[in-house]
Amino acid sequence: MGVCGYLVLSWRCLVVLSLRLLFLVPAGLPVRSGDSPFSKVMDNVTVRQGDNAVLRCNLDNRVTRVAWLNRSSILFAGFDKWSIDPRVILLNNTSTEYSIQIKDVDVYDDGPYVCSILTNNNPKASRVHLIVQVPPRIANISTDITVNEGSSITLMCLAIGRPEPTVTWRHLSSRAHRFVSEGEYLEVTEISKEQSGVYECSASNDVSAPDVRKVHVTVNYPPFISNARNTGAPIGQKGILHCEASAVPFAVFEWYKEDRRLLNGLNGVRIENKGKQSMLTFFNVSEQDYGNYTCVAMNKLGNSNASIILYGPGAVHDRNNAAFATHSSFCLLLTLVLQYVLKF
């Protein structure tokens, strides 16, 4: 049985033979001027993934047969649909235009298409390349991470799309350490506590809005006491010593008077720890409560301490008097020296 079976003499057989001959021409080559009297369709049709693509072929009254082909098969021949893909439909088949539509295009639709034109058994072809653009999408990104200060980290953000997306990292920080870095991998060496926070990865290729994801980086560091002030309180009144320490994880506080550790609820004192702060409260200050106290802040990475004095009103007065006396003595000495010098 022949190539066309029982349809040897049918026009469909002639179309198939003509189309097969057209496939001998290298795909993707544009029609040269003089090759065909028909208007050439656009070289490229660019659509976004999920949109509809329209492929048009301009005709005149000399055309006897027309067909659309993709890389390996016939889509439409005249009014007859050969493709089994329900997304491919015939839009126009007139004396001036032969066009098809591909609905909801995907990346596998990308590639060359051929409009085959038969005029007096003389086949011509016009070619178009369908370009399918894909919005950017972050396919894989590092999870939130916790490291110790001084360590080095590498954050990963892999994105896909057509054209290939540009990947950008930003440190979302209110401090002066914010920055922008381009590339799928971000390396931070000897990370500091100021470099903790949220890192944002953005993938963009101008097809649609960028895809944005975030990674939270926590940096552990030992405590350092940022606020500890001496406090005065009269006898019989309440006195409070404050100690504030920055640390990740939060510091654990201990209080000492000289070498003796103070315990919450004993000897008329209360210790309250709230986040970064610790308060040592004396509900009824006595003479024995005055003196030097030590606040110790600790976590698994280290510790820090500060000395804080609880003093009475008299101590402040005596200290001011001592300062005034020192200032007066200095002025008196300076006056005597000037008098001595002026004599000569």
Q: What is the DSSP secondary-structure string of 161-225?
A: EESPPEEEEEEE-SSTT--EEESSEEEE-S--GGG-EEEEEEEE-SSSSPEEEEEEEEEEEEEEE
Residue 16: strand pairing partners: none
Q: What is the pLDDT of residue 246?
A: 95
Q: What is the pLDDT of residue 125?
A: 87
Pair of tokens at residue 100 = 């098809």
Q: What is the pLDDT of residue 314?
A: 66
In whole angstroms, what is the distance from residue 294 CA to residue 168 CA?
48
Residue 273: strand pairing partners: 278
Q: What is the pLDDT of residue 316?
A: 44
Domain ranges within the chain, ordered by starting residue: 5-134, 142-222, 229-311, 317-344
CATH number of 142-222: 2.60.40.10
Q: Please, are residues 129 and 45 in contact by the beta-carbon 8 Å criterion?
A: yes
In whole angstroms, what is the distance from residue 332 CA to residue 328 CA?
6
Q: What is the pLDDT of residue 315?
A: 60
Homologous superfamily assigned to 229-311? Immunoglobulins (2.60.40.10)
Using alpha carbons only, how large is the chain's radius of gyration in Å? 42
- 5-134 and 229-311, same CATH topology: yes
In whole angstroms, what is the distance from residue 177 CA to residue 190 CA?
14
In whole angstroms, what is the distance from residue 178 CA to residue 201 CA?
14
In whole angstroms, what is the distance from residue 162 CA to residue 103 CA?
19
CA angle 31, 127, 43 (to 5 degrees): 85
Residue in this structure with the two tokens 């591909």, named with its chain if needed? 102
Q: What is the pLDDT of residue 339?
A: 42
Tens digit of pLDDT per residue, the chain (344 long)? 343 343 333 444 444 444 444 433 333 333 332 344 444 444 789 999 999 999 999 888 788 899 999 987 999 999 999 999 999 999 999 988 999 999 999 999 999 999 999 887 788 888 999 999 999 999 999 999 999 999 999 999 999 999 999 999 999 977 655 678 999 999 999 999 999 999 999 999 989 999 999 999 999 999 999 999 999 999 999 999 999 999 999 999 999 998 899 998 887 899 999 989 999 999 999 999 999 999 999 999 999 999 999 998 866 433 333 332 333 333 333 333 334 333 44
Q: What is the pLDDT of residue 178?
A: 64
Q: What is the pLDDT of residue 133?
A: 96
In whole angstroms, what is the distance from residue 200 CA to residue 23 CA?
49
How many CB atoms sit inside 10 A of residue 60's CB?
12
- When the candidates are 3.90.180.10, 2.60.40.10, 1.10.10.10, 3.30.450.20, the CATH number that belongs to 5-134 is 2.60.40.10
